Amino acid sequence: MQVEILANPETVAKRAASLIAAYAREAVAARGQFSFAVSGGKAPWIMLHDLASEDVPWDKVQVFQVDERVAPAGDPDRNLTHLHESLLNHAPLEPDQIHAMPVELPDLDAAAAQYQKTLAAFCGSPAMLDLTHLGLGPDGHTASLVPGDPVLNVTDRDVAATGVYQEHRRMTLTYPMLNRSRRILWLVTGADKVDALKKLRAGDTSIPGGRIASGNAVLLAEQASVG
Please enumerate in sequence order all residues whose Cβ is within 8 A of that of 167, keeping only pairs 6 or more positions apart, or say none: none
Query: If 0-12 CB within 10 Å is exposed, 13-18 middle and 19+ buried, where does residue 74 land?
Result: exposed
Helix (H) or strand (E) holding 160: strand 159-161
Query: What is the model's pTM?
Result: 0.95
| Domain spans, the chain | 2-226
pLDDT 10s digits, 123-160: 999 999 999 999 999 999 999 999 999 999 999 999 99
Beta partners for 93?
A: none
pLDDT 10s digits, 88-128: 889 999 999 999 999 999 999 999 999 999 999 999 999 99
pLDDT 10s digits, 48-68: 999 999 999 999 999 999 999
Under CATH, what is the fold of the domain 2-226? Rossmann fold (3.40.50)
Q: How far apart are CA 61 and CA 21, in angstroms?
A: 10
Band (pLDDT 50/70/90 cuts) for residue 166 is: confident
Nearest partner of 86 among 50, 37, 38, judged by Cα:
50
Pair 35, 60: CB distance under 8 Å = no
